[in-house]
Amino acid sequence: MTQPASSSLNKLSPGELVDRMTQIAHRLIEIMGEEASVLEACRPMEVVDFHDEKTRHTNDLALLVNLVQKNPHLIDQVPAARVSALKTLMTQLQDRSDQTAKMLLAAKSVSDGIVKELSAFASRKRAPQTGYGRTGSLQAAPKDSSLSLSLDARF
């Protein structure tokens, strides 16, 4: 499917408009299903493979929805059953989109956590490995970095 130009959108008949929106919505649902499968298989890096096509179809659908919103009478000429089927499909698309968004957010959260832990690990490795011992002399820092430091100020 090629990306529709704004000028060619006005040339679509009402039936073609509904058919085009239906085709795009079906394909977007398929793409998001494939994304979900990739995420469930713990292969989040493969999600990028769907980005370009999903973006193109999303933009196409947004243009068509915008056209219908500006001219709602366009789809009045289409049989009610086809319009109803499109509305049902758009609801399914919204549900799939919400589900995919949650999965992508979870994958992002895990990825962010990994990056944070790796950065904390790297900074611990670069930190000086010395500290003060009980006698006040410098010595190797204890292996347990969870020990707290407290100061006792006496005058």
Confidence bin at 155 (pLDDT 50/70/90): very low
Domain map of the chain by residue range? 15-115
Better-predicted residue by pLDDT, 142 or 44? 44
* pTM of the predicted structure, to 2 decimals: 0.69
Arithmetic mean of pLDDT, 87-100: 95
pLDDT at 146: 53
DSSP E strands in 51-137: the ranges are: 130-132
pLDDT at 16: 92
pLDDT at 82: 94
pLDDT at 17: 92
Arithmetic mean of pLDDT, 73-99: 93
Better-predicted residue by pLDDT, 15 or 122? 15
Contact 61, 39 (CB under 8 A): no
Arithmetic mean of pLDDT, 18-44: 93
Better-predicted residue by pLDDT, 118 or 20? 20
Contact 37, 43 (CB under 8 A): no
Residue 138 φ/ψ, nearest 5 degrees? -70, 135
Q: State the DSSP H helix or E strand holding residue 139, giving kind and residue range, or none if neither.
A: strand 138-140
pLDDT at 10: 67
